[in-house]
Amino acid sequence: MDDSLTYWLTANYRKHEATIAQDSVADELQKVMNKLTARWRGLFDDRALDIAKRQSKRWQGYADTSLMDKLKQAGFAVRFRPSKAMTNTINGAVNENVTLIKSIADHHLTEVSQMVQRSAMAGRDLSTLTADLKERYGITQRRAAFIARDQNNKATSFITRTRQIDLGLTEAIWCHSSAGKHPRPKHVEAGRKRLRYDIRKGADVDGDGRLIFPGEEPNCRCTSQVIIPGFDT
């Protein structure tokens, strides 16, 4: 999408760069941007659901494998079956990701459109616009990466929790990942103390009565260790 925007906008900007009336340049570029926006929004609308479904299957596969390994170590051979709760969890993850995938495109297209108008009206040259487009792409790319990491952590956590509840497991231990550059002190403390919590409700990590799950908060890479009654003390 960004390659397409950069190509067509710079090509048309170059064509009208020598035009004296900057308002006419802005009008022409807006027409180009309107066509590009309609095209790419349509493509994202068409493909977002398929992307989200494929990614949800990956998350489910990873979560199921990790939990089966844990149960296997305790001597249990478990074959997961479809359940209403798991269907609801997966559907929720898919719907949320469809919205987020579309939002990345919408946000980028809106920002680029405004940037082009400001550049045309200010009479800036093509090199300035090209540099601005590159900078904008970097911002969008970092935002998309953050959303991907955040959704990966959340979805894996909630899929695993749903499987555990389906199996009748109700307790887990909070595990801090030690992977982030700026860890939350309370999360570190919860991991160090091996905080036990009810996986049906969540953990009061901050001590303020607010119940959360590992991986739920932005940039949280914490995980959990499920407690198997009779096998974990």
Residue 171 CB neighbour total at 10 angstroms: 17
Same domain, 94 and 191: no
Q: How far apart are CA 127 and CA 80, in angstroms?
A: 57
Same domain, 148 and 50: yes
70 and 226 Cβ atoms separated by less than 8 Å = yes
Same domain, 107 and 7: yes
**Which domain-ending residue is among 168, 195, 217?**
168
Same domain, 150 and 179: no
Query: Which stretches of the chain drop beneath a pLDDT of 70?
Result: 17-23, 180, 232-233
Same domain, 183 and 161: no
pLDDT at site 35: 95
Number of structural domains, the chain?
2
pTM beyond cutoff 0.85: no
pLDDT at site 7: 93
Same domain, 191 and 85: no
pLDDT at site 81: 85
pLDDT, tens digit, 9 for 90 and up, residues 105-158: 999 999 999 998 888 877 777 888 889 999 999 999 999 999 999 999 899 989
**Which domain-ending residue is among 114, 149, 168?**
168
Residue 231 CB neighbour total at 10 angstroms: 11
Same domain, 88 and 144: yes
pLDDT at site 139: 95
Same domain, 125 and 223: no
Same domain, 225 and 197: yes
Residue 75 CB neighbour total at 10 angstroms: 8
Least Cα distance to 5 among 49, 28, 35, 50 occurs for 35
Stated as kind and residue range, the H or E segment containing 171 is strand 171-175
Same domain, 22 and 107: yes
pLDDT at site 123: 77
pLDDT at site 34: 94
What is the domain range of residue 232? 170-233
Same domain, 81 and 8: yes
Q: How far apart are CA 56 and CA 219, in angstroms?
A: 19
pLDDT at site 183: 86
Indicate the residue type of 174.
W
**Which domain-ending residue is among 168, 189, 223?**
168
Question: Scanning the structure block, which residue is given the tokens 């919205």?
Answer: 99
Same domain, 17 and 99: yes
